[in-house]
Amino acid sequence: MAWTKVMPAHPVVAVCGATGAVGNEFLKVLHDLDFPASKVIALASARSAGKKLPFEGCGQVPAGELTVQEMTPDSFEGVDIALFSAGASVSKAMREAVVAHGAVMIDNSSAFRMEEDVPLVVPEVNPGDVSWHNGVIANPNCSTIQMVVALKPLYNLARISRVVVSTYQAASGAGAPAMAELYDQTREFLDGKPEDELTISAFAHRIAFNTIPHIDVFLDDDSTKEEWKMVVETKKIMGDDNIQVAATCVRVPVLRCHGESINVEFVGDVPPADAREALAAAPGVTVMDDPANNVYPMPGLLAGTNDTYVGRIRRDPTVKHGLAMWVVADQIRKGAALNAVQIAQLLLPQE
């Protein structure tokens, strides 16, 4: 069933999961992009109802405070766009109510990403896919988003046949408690607390001064679900089931921003100079690639930024037509909140 409701120029926006890390970032991004909302509603669980959230304003909504309301099926009456980051179970529970009230759900969870009738959208890569939504549009996994933003300009030079990616994913990708655990555990470790007494709850092992090659659950083939997401989501977003993707996803003791080491194999030759030129001209991409002056993207210096940063661009001599590169992006902004609000921008009436 095609979606026929016309999006108003000044939509009512509901931020669902407003008290979480991504929900808070939704509010910041709505302000930063001056999204033309007529009203912004903050929704969360019953225990957060009544909480005041600072909001810098956007569109017709003045700066001030938003009072958090309990999210119920009736919360979506009069809502045009619902930005969801409340977990897959909540998204699934609320989907019918959101769509029935005529709102478009832009969902940050993994709940609907691989459903055939749900577009999986990165605006720099496949913006046209929003045209066939049926009330739900999925936001991809954070590590997938930044990779495909960097891959798309290169794919336009020559079709990509294979990608091998290793991720260096920040602790905050596992949520606010995980980021707090990195802080607390690092302090405990430096204070000399014995290994077996360190507080470990957000991860399977100590994250301070360590790396953990385990994100999400393990699957039957011994890959993790995070790695599986990168494989299947890349194919769907790029619109090419023939791209082969091998991923290894690793949690690192960085507070914010994911890094990715990516090796790309093409069907034809793509010289590094051509790759740099294409990437530099691509929307949402900043090239930081001057090895002689030690210029390359680093997670610790890019928190809070919007772009996908690419550096260390060079030939991969192990395959006939290969490039290697290093990609960094803020996984809470481009990897979540920013990408979702950019999807919402695509839904606005075109002037």
Place of tokens 């108003």: 8
Q: 333 a known binding residue?
A: no
Rounded Cα gap, residues 165 and 233, in angstroms: 14
Q: Is 60 annotated as a binding residue?
A: no
95 labeled binding residue: no
| 104 known member of a binding site | no
Q: Write down the catalytic residue from 16, 101, 133, 258.
A: 258
Q: Is 67 annotated as a binding residue?
A: no
Cβ 55 vs Cβ 25: under 8 Å: no
Annotated binding-site residue? 110: no
Which residue type is seen at 335? Answer: G
258 is catalytic: yes
Active-site residue among 16, 58, 142, 257?
Answer: 142
CA of 214: how far to CAs of 199, 203, 205, 261, in Å? 18, 9, 10, 17
Q: Please give the helix or strand (H or E) that residue 229 lies within, else none.
A: helix 225-238
Catalytic residue at 58?
no
- Read off the amino acid at residue 336: A
Strand order in the sheet with 12-16: 69-70, 39-44, 12-16, 81-84, 104-107, 136-138
**172 φ, ψ to 5°?**
-65, -15
- Residue 331 marked in a binding site: yes
The answer to whether 48 is annotated as binding is yes
Phi first, then psi: give them for residue 168, nearest 5 degrees: -125, 90
- Residue 287 to residues 150, 165, 282, 308, 325, Cα–Cα distance (Å): 10, 19, 10, 9, 11
Token pair for residue 254? 């960085």
Q: Which residues are annotated as a binding site?
A: 19-22, 47-48, 113, 169, 172-173, 251, 331
Q: Which residues are catalytic?
A: 142, 258
Q: Which residues are annotated as a binding site for substrate?
A: 169, 251
Q: Which residues are annotated as a binding site for phosphate?
A: 113
